[in-house]
Amino acid sequence: MRLSVLTGKLTLGNKLMGESFVGNIKGDFLPVCMADMKRRGWKQPDFIYIIGDAYVDHPSFGPAIISRLLESRGYKVAMLPQPDWKDERSIQILGRPKLAFLVSSGNMDSMVNHYSVSKRRRDTDSYTPGGVMGKRPDYAVTVYCNLVRKVYKQVPIIIGGIEASLRRLAHYDYWSDQVKRSVLMDSQADLLSYGMGEHSMVEIAEALEAGIPVSDITYVAGTAYRTKMLDEPFDGELLPDYDMVKESKKAYAKSFLIQYKNTDPISGKRLAEGYGSRGYVVQNPPAMPLSEEEMDDVYALPYMRAWHPMYEAEGGIPAFSEIKFSLVSNRGCFGSCSFCALTFHQGRIVQARSHNSIIKEAGLLTKSPDFKGYIHDVGGPTANFRGPSCNKQRKSGTCRHRQCLFPSPCPNLKVDHQDYLKLLRKLRTVPGVKRVFIRSGIRFDYVMADQDDAFLRELCAYHVSGQLKVAPEHLSPEVLKRMGKPDSHVYLAFVEKYKKINERLGKKQYLVPYLMSSHPGCTMKDAVLLAEYLRDTGHMPEQVQDFYPTPSTLSTCMYYTGLDPRTMEQVYVPKSPHEKAMQRALIQYRAPRNRKLVEEALVLAGRTDLIGHGKKCLIWPERGNRQEETRTDGRRRGSGQNRANAAKKGETGAANKKKVTIRNRHSKKKM
């Protein structure tokens, strides 16, 4: 929003944002209790925002953006973080909102927040005071909404955030291993705002304030709603109904592909999914991306940039330390990795803030008493994307039938790092800033598509703190194809170029590759191929990401259906916990704890040639194995046990020889 010095009016882009600015004039958090509202002279809030996270007023937290945005429009917003879902009185402490309850699980899907990929309950929750686990329920959006509906029968409920956004239509739920209905059906919410939500939430608020019943707010882009009947004629596309996608994996894959092709705000169609006698869930096309001016306005809102003081005694919010001295420069990603939900949430059109906006925020960081001179990150989903991938996206949207970087860069792709370089150079000169790092990840195939090495040179010279993290994810052609990642030769060429540039700079800086095990399409032979690459490079990952089937990703669709929805080809899917453990162990084959799993995996893959003492072997034969193995020079030699016996005999012989020598010495003394 822009506050005009001349008129005092606030605008979102060129759109009038309200007659007066009633924002955070005094520099305070939004109310979290009746006493806070009383100090502001409120009798009733317009919106009560229920969130599964603790209350952190920082633009890296979605609820902070939406609440401050609504506040800037003159609405009274009260925050209700982590209410006790087992006690209906917990959602009554702020009274009844005038317009609606807003409900979000927080910055993460509550199930991802609670459970590891092995479905083990996590020990800590980084978005809760002190990292304490258990302050929010599983399926938080649904549980919170049902609690609200139990107490406030007629108050509108608007849901949003990552959990609602990615569960807006029927979806495979990994934790229950079943296809769940749209979260709108289970939560009893009236309206769902998907994506980032700035445009849609302002439009919803204005409609409610104007007295429009929530059941009639069916026209807002970036929303989904329930309805008994479809308009005649329906100007969208009908998806297979819920019963069909629940029973048929082929129908599920077809439905997913339709959704995948309609994630663009310009070319996307309205979609409808049937639920029998309960009617339909209708998804409107996505909201338009924010312009640069609108992005600047959102990040210029008067955030406190801190957690609420009520959490001090518990040690604050662990997740905040990760972003406290980082800068968001963009959102959206045209990389379109299959396992990433960004296509469905932020979209493929990259939106960026202006240099002035980011420099101004950097200046704010330097005024923090905790700031040591280091900006930890300047980026977003992909740090080195600063705009749409091609000029035609601004008018026609993203392509429905091809990706920008996969399987190879599109001929229309605009490859240019100059704007990002200029931004980084400016940040390096901000008074009080010693170093500016990039940690959110760069897209190495985009770097390799750039004919100018200036960005990579300056990245190595100024913005890497000893090691750079990149995400090749795998080396097998079949797996990379399913992941939507470039062929391995692109990554290997990047590794070589990175090495040479660092050598010329006289720096010892390393690459840390993110690797993923058990992705759909990955057989045991593919997993062994990755292990051989790690052997040849000498890299031993400390952590390995096992593929996690989260809602609304292309990879999750493959995991559930065994089909690639883009081609309807059959895809091999490693699902058993034991097989997944073997694939993960191969990436860390040197760890002694993984030895038995690695041996089993090699036998299963028909690669027992990798068990031995040769330079190319991954593991030694197990002691006690009496079978002979071949040396690298072609000669035969005994097993580990035979060598142990020989060594023992040698030790015995040496000991006997020593005894003889001692006896001889004694004999000489006696003489």
Mean pLDDT of 41-65: 97
Show the tokens assigned to 96: 């009844």
Taking the C-alpha atoms of residue 278 and residue 41, their distance in angstroms, rounded to an integer, is 43
Residue pair 386/419 in contact (Cβ under 8 Å)? The answer is: yes
Show the tokens assigned to 627: 């079978």
In Å, what is the CA distance from 534 to each residue of 443, 482, 505, 607?
21, 21, 26, 16
Mean pLDDT of 317-331: 95
In the chain, where are the structural domains located?
Answer: 2-283, 611-643
Give the side-chain half-sphere CA count within 13 A for 325: 20
Taking the C-alpha atoms of residue 25 and residue 27, their distance in angstroms, rounded to an integer, is 6
- Where residue 624 falls among pLDDT bands split at 50, 70, 90? low
- Where residue 647 falls among pLDDT bands split at 50, 70, 90? very low
For the stretch 583-618, pLDDT in tens is: 999 999 999 999 999 999 999 999 999 999 999 999
Residue pair 456/470 in contact (Cβ under 8 Å)? The answer is: no
Taking the C-alpha atoms of residue 408 and residue 396, their distance in angstroms, rounded to an integer, is 21
Mean pLDDT of 627-638: 40
Write the secondary structure of 313-341 as one string of H (helix), E (strand) and C (coil): HHCCCCCHHHHCCEEECEECCCCCCCCCC
For residue 662, pLDDT beyond 70:
no
Show the tokens assigned to 222: 């970036």
Least confident of 304-313, 500-509, 608-617, 641-650: 641-650
Which contiguous run of DSSP H or E holds residue 171?
Answer: strand 171-173
Show the tokens assigned to 191: 């309206």
Beta bridge partners, 192, equal 159, 224
Taking the C-alpha atoms of residue 326 and residue 306, their distance in angstroms, rounded to an integer, is 13
Class (C level, CATH) for 2-283: alpha beta
Show the tokens assigned to 233: 């004629």
List, as one string, the DSSP characters of 47-92.
EEEEESS--EESTTSHHHHHHHHHHHTT--EEEEES--TT-GGGGS
Please give the angle made by the CA atoms of 181, 574 and 257, to the nearest 5 degrees.
40
Least confident of 59-73, 228-242, 655-669: 655-669
Taking the C-alpha atoms of residue 585 and residue 596, their distance in angstroms, rounded to an integer, is 9
Task: For residue 366, report the phi and psi dihedrals to the nearest 5 degrees.
Answer: -65, -20
Only one residue has tokens 């030694």, namely 620
Its pTM stands at 0.88
Strands (E), 374-526: 374-375, 377-379, 435-436, 467-473, 510-517
For residue 286, pLDDT beyond 70:
yes
Which contiguous run of DSSP H or E holds residue 10?
Answer: strand 10-12
Residue pair 99/208 in contact (Cβ under 8 Å)? The answer is: yes
For residue 193, pLDDT beyond 80:
yes
What is the structure's pLDDT at 83? 98
For the stretch 421-430, pLDDT in tens is: 999 999 999 9
Taking the C-alpha atoms of residue 19 and residue 137, their distance in angstroms, rounded to an integer, is 40
For the stretch 526-541, pLDDT in tens is: 999 999 999 999 888 8
Residue pair 49/59 in contact (Cβ under 8 Å)? The answer is: no
What is the structure's pLDDT at 26? 54
For residue 307, pLDDT beyond 50:
yes
Residue pair 163/109 in contact (Cβ under 8 Å)? The answer is: yes
Pairing of strands 15-16, 10-12: antiparallel
Which residues, in sequence order, are CB contacts of 575 under 8 Å at separation 6+?
Answer: 559
Taking the C-alpha atoms of residue 407 and residue 336, their distance in angstroms, rounded to an integer, is 11
Show the tokens assigned to 402: 């091809």
Alpha carbon 622 to its chain centroid, in Å, reads: 40
Burial class (CB in 10 A: 0-12, 13-18, 19+), 100: buried
Pairing of strands 191-193, 178-180: unpaired
For residue 186, pLDDT beyond 90:
yes
Positive or negative: CA dihedral 454, 457, 462, 468? positive
What is the structure's pLDDT at 623? 74
What's the chain's average pLDDT?
A: 89
Taking the C-alpha atoms of residue 272 and residue 308, their distance in angstroms, rounded to an integer, is 41
Burial class (CB in 10 A: 0-12, 13-18, 19+), 140: buried
Which residues, in sequence order, are CB contacts of 346 under 8 Å at separation 6+?
Answer: 195, 196, 331, 332, 333, 381
Please give the angle made by the CA atoms of 106, 107 and 108, to the nearest 5 degrees.
95
Alpha carbon 586 to its chain centroid, in Å, reads: 25
For helices 577-587 and 595-604, the axis angle rounded to 10 degrees is 110
Taking the C-alpha atoms of residue 188 and residue 172, their distance in angstroms, rounded to an integer, is 20
Show the tokens assigned to 29: 């958090």
For 316, left (φ over 0), alpha (ψ -120 to 50), or beta? left
